[in-house]
A and B are shown apart, each in its own frame.
Chain A
């Protein structure tokens, strides 16, 4: 079936089978492989994307449900060529190690920063994203530092 949706700000039309998951469409025809499949049952959160601004597990959403809706993936977080404060903080402060949870983690953290701060705590906002590397402390630190930088506009340079 034919599907029309907005991906990372651009309207896209894709051919998808009725049983295809949003994750299949993203990783397959749209070639957006930033969203990962770690479990296929909504536990690990590595496929987290924003669907109309809310974080969802792309492995639990049928592509057909996304007709006419807006999807933002990790590839759509950065504004043009520059990293967001969150992305920079993850690279600089230990938020990313092996990196496989990072795309989903960043998407959840972005939702937290943008809209969910008043609804949940920082740790609650990433509780659906499993990281096996960091112990989460560096991720929490990265998100807090990015938030500080956002407020003050004084994010440090990436360095060498």
Chain B
């Protein structure tokens, strides 16, 4: 039977099938890490952390009157190789002497009695010599005090295009300035964004133990092979003796990309020293304080355009706060800088970016990964250009949005799956933007209404040659009765990996959805598919799953064609004859993807997802409280494998962005977080969330699975904040360049002379 004929029989892809993991989740039997019953002899683990943002640890004192007999203590000298393996290997598993940020782990305690463990923590005192911290990224860049490397700079990038693409880098800046000077209209602006906490509802947690097979860790995590790599480095164990397994995970959003390596190392160190299983689960306060957050970013932009609104020249400077250690900052900065030019066409561009260290907890992965910060800046700036020109912002965006054949700031020519215009027009029509934009709130009314839009794109998959280096793998096994088992390291953290992979595999193999199973991601069982990040799970790993499932299905059908019987009988014959029937495949990116990592030029991503978000708000002129009354979006996903889940991703991401824009604010004082609780770090509730009107646009990516799926995870985080700001600006009549838009900030901004548009 031909594949086309099979496709007609099965239609899992494109249908909103129920969640594969839905039943255990709705009846309360899904096992998250802290739901596992205690293992025999299990201890609770706890971390003692730095109370200062910078200092020298002179001594740790243990109260001699306390009974330490049943307390396990792990210190820096107990760590075989005291490094968290990631990009820079600059972060210790436990600080020995230099304390570089508040909440930095210093020592670990474990005890069977939770209450005694807390008392043990009280019985420890730290002798610390405080040093003046560097908390401001600008000060870090000036290198007033060196706290990291030789100049505090964790990473730099430069992107040049057109006039700025000079043979020698020194000539680039004068060249872009000359290009700007030649423009009819020039606009400058400065835009800033703040920290954001992922605030997954399940805090970080791991259970670790050692036995004759080696070391085991089970936990709430996105990337089991990251933890595997960290264990390899810190313990020096053979790879085959490290077993990392994902438990059902209660949200990640990037927060469980790299951080779980640390908590897992801590639990495993305590387990090693005590010889007992150790459970470490953070409470909310510790989770907010100690784990990674979104990088605060400052962007300065100068642009030049024609009087008719044709954008010409972009000059931009991006400064990111990396926090005390590098974690994933170079990659976050990369994605930030690659999205800095927005969804628009520029003739000439000069974008320079730096990430610096400060004495704050390391910032790390968070959905969008640097792009929401730079897209905030460019979207706000384009709105400012529109005001300068007297144009409607959406008209200006429509005029300049990248289309088929256009080239991005890195010189990537877009030749497939480009849907910026379609998204813009669909959201514009559905929201009645033009009509609402023309309305003006009566000056005397207490409530001011506004509507605003953001247009944006997000690269799917790893940047540039990332997928080529990574060589992600996935496997599909044939099981008795013709069933399939998908084995990948891609974790389901709520986004629906397990369900969507089953849909892709079922159609590719031509079997019913119920005949496809999904292996729990455990490093001992699954191949390394690469991490569950970067909007790559469906598009990249999903496409390997599709090929592998097709290959297994084809083998069974060939057997069926040659020797007859049902599909299930043919599968059993194959298995009886060959023992195992597996297709293990490796990802190969589309051939056209060419990327120059040195010059930062070429195809930054194989394709982009596109979107237009439109927010409607009501602002109380007395209290400056913002209510989001409606939210419209049109999002190009390539192909919606499961439309309900697709909408869930878009709406959930949009609300995280709305929260970032309006309510979520970490309050810092002297390097410490003053509001590390859900009581005062405010995330949106059902009453804060607007009704979402979500349109799916499908501009298929021919290398994507299921008929053209693209990455969708991060994209919706990019546009919420600038759309909200544009709407609030429309309502209040003054410009807004800095997040968050809390009532206090709006009030003080309203008092600023000359703030009026």
* Chain A contact residues, CB within 8 Å of chain B: 27, 31-41, 43-44, 46, 73-75, 77-78, 83, 87-88, 90-94, 96-103, 106, 123-124, 126-140, 158-160
Give complex CA distance A129, B685 in Å. Answer: 7
Q: For the complex formed, measure the closest distance between the CB of B681 and the CB atoms of chain A, giving whole angstroms.
A: 9
Complex CA gap A131/B24 in Å reads: 18
B678 contacts chain A at the CB level, 8 A cutoff: yes
A32–B654 Cα distance when bound, in Å, is 34
Say yes or no: A102 contacts B689, CB within 8 Å.
Answer: no
Chain B positions within 8 Å of A132 at CB level: 198-201, 251, 253, 652, 656, 683
Contact of A96 among B22, B202, B683 (CB under 8 A): B22
Query: Does B596 sit within 8 A of A, measured CB to CB?
Result: no
- Given A43-B677, A94-B648: A100 touches B27 (CB 8 Å cut-off): no
Which chain B residues in 1-49 approach chain A with CB under 8 Å?
12, 16-19, 21-32, 34-35, 37
| Interface SS of chain A | loop
The verdict on A137 contacting B647 (CB below 8 Å), with A98-B200, A98-B249 known, is: yes
**Could you tell me the distance between the alpha carbons of A83 and B24 in the complex, rounded to whole angstroms?**
11
- The answer to whether A39 touches B250, judged by C-beta atoms less than 8 angstroms apart, is no
- CB neighbours (8 Å) of A100 from chain B are 32, 200-202, 250-251
- Having A83-B23, A131-B201, A137-B692, one finds 7 other A-B pairs with CB under 8 Å, namely A32-B28, A34-B27, A40-B283, A75-B29, A91-B23, A98-B493, A134-B652
Q: Judge whether B655 is part of the interface by a CB distance below 8 angstroms.
A: yes
Given the complex, which residues of A lie within 8 Å of B656, measured CB to CB?
A: 132
Contact A139 B644 (CB under 8 A): no
Chain B interface residue count, Cβ-Cβ cutoff 8 angstroms: 63
- Closest-by-CB residue of B relative to A32 is B28
Do A136 and B27 touch across chains, with their CB atoms under 8 A apart?
no
Asked whether, in the complex, the Cβ of B202 is within 8 Å of the Cβ of A97, the reply is no
A residues less than 8 Å from B19 (CB atoms):
91-92, 96
B313 adjacent to chain A (CB < 8 Å): no
Q: Which residues 215-274 in B have Cβ within 8 Å of A in the complex?
A: 248-253
> Could you tell me which B residues sit within 8 Å of A by CB distance?
12, 16-19, 21-32, 34-35, 37, 198-203, 248-253, 283-284, 493-496, 512-514, 644-645, 647-648, 650-656, 677-679, 683, 685-687, 689, 691-692, 694
CA distance A157 to B474 in the complex (A): 32
Of the A-B pairs whose beta carbons lie under 8 Å apart in the complex, a sample of 13, sorted by A's number, is A33-B32, A34-B27, A87-B26, A90-B25, A91-B22, A98-B250, A103-B28, A124-B686, A127-B686, A133-B494, A138-B644, A158-B18, A159-B18
Min Cβ gap A60→B in Å is: 12
Given contacts A36-B202, A87-B26, A132-B253, contact A97 B685 (CB under 8 A): no
CA distance A78 to B28 in the complex (A): 10
Nearest Cβ on chain A to B9's Cβ, whole angstroms: 13
A35 to B24, CA, bound (A): 13
CA distance A41 to B677 in the complex (A): 9
Q: List the 7 closest pairs (A to B, CB-CB), nearest first.
A: A34-B28, A98-B494, A91-B22, A100-B250, A135-B651, A99-B25, A43-B678
Least CB distance from A32 to B in Å reads 7
CB distance from B359 to the nearest CB of A (A): 28
A77 to B27, CA, bound (A): 8
Q: Which of B16, B35, B694 has the most CB of A within 10 A?
A: B35
Query: Which chain A residues lie closer than 8 Å to B198 at the CB level?
Result: 132
Distance between Cα atoms of A2 and B647 in the complex (Å):
48
Q: Which residue of A lies closest to B288 (CB)?
A: A39
For B654, the chain A residues whose CB sits under 8 A away are 135
Q: Is there contact, CB below 8 Å, between A43 and B250?
A: no
* List of B residues within 8 angstroms of A78 by Cβ: 27
A37 to B285 CA separation, bound complex (whole angstroms): 13
**What chain B residues lie within 8 Å of A131 (beta carbons)?**
201, 686
A33 proximity list for chain B (CB < 8 A): 28, 31-32, 34-35
- A93→B494 CA distance, assembly (Å): 14
- Shortest CB distance B427–A (Å): 16
Establish whether residues B201 and A90, one from each chain, have CB atoms under 8 Å apart when the complex forms: no
Residue in contact with A133 in the complex, picked from B26, B35, B652, CB distance below 8 Å: B652
Please give me the residue from chain B that is nearest to A75 by CB atom. Answer: B28
Once the chains are docked, how many angstroms separate the CA of A160 from the CA of B248? 22
Q: In the bound complex, do residue A36 and residue B250 qualify as a contact, i.e. CB atoms below 8 Å apart? A: yes
> Which B residue sits closest to A107, measured CB to CB?
B28
Cα of A33 to Cα of B27 in the assembled complex, Å = 11
- Supposing A39-B284, A40-B284, A98-B201 touch, asked if A138 and B26 sit within 8 A by C-beta, the answer is no
Tell me the smallest distance from the CB of B375 to a CB of chain A, in Å.
19
- Also in contact, A127 and B249, with CB within 8 A (given A99-B25, A103-B28): no
Please state if A102 and B26 are interface contacts (CB–CB under 8 Å).
yes
Cβ 8 A contact of A136, one of B203, B514, B678, B689? B689
Q: A38 contacts B201, CB within 8 Å?
A: yes
Contacts of A27 in B (CB 8 A): 35
A31 contacts across to B, CB distance below 8 A: 37
**With the chains together, A91 CA to B19 CA distance in Å?**
6
B421, chain A: closest CB distance, angstroms: 26
Q: Do A97 and B652 touch across chains, with their CB atoms under 8 A apart?
A: yes
Is A74's CB under 8 angstroms from B27's CB?
yes
Which residue among A33, A39, A98, A106 has the maximum number of chain B CB atoms within 10 Å of its CB?
A: A98
Q: Are A130 and B35 in contact (CB under 8 A)?
A: no
A38-B203, A40-B283, A136-B655 in contact; A96/B26 too (CB < 8 A)? yes
Of chain A, the residue at the smallest CB distance from B694 is A137
Shortest beta-carbon distance, A118 to chain B, in Å?
Answer: 18
Within the complex, what minimum Cβ distance (angstroms) separates B13 from chain A?
13
Cα of A46 to Cα of B37 in the assembled complex, Å: 19
Inside 8 A of A32's CB, which chain B residues have their CB? 28
Q: In the complex where A39-B678, A91-B18 touch, is A99 in contact with B27 (Cβ < 8 A)?
A: no
Complex CA–CA separation, A159 to B694 (angstroms): 25
Question: Which residue from chain B places its CB closest to the CB of A97 in the assembled complex?
Answer: B494
Q: Name which residue of chain A comes closest to B646, CB basis.
A: A94
Tell me which residues across on chain B come within 8 A of A106, comparing CB atoms.
26
CA distance A32 to B348 in the complex (A): 62
Q: Which chain B residue lies CB-closest to A122?
A: B686
Knowing A34-B29, A91-B25, A123-B686, the reply to whether A134 touches B648 (Cβ < 8 A) is yes
Given contacts A100-B251, A124-B687, A135-B651, contact A130 B201 (CB under 8 A): yes
**A residues in contact with B691, CB < 8 Å:** 137
Q: How far is the CA of A109 from the CA of B480 in the complex (A)?
A: 41
Q: B692's contact among A90, A129, A135, by CB below 8 Å, is which?
A: A135
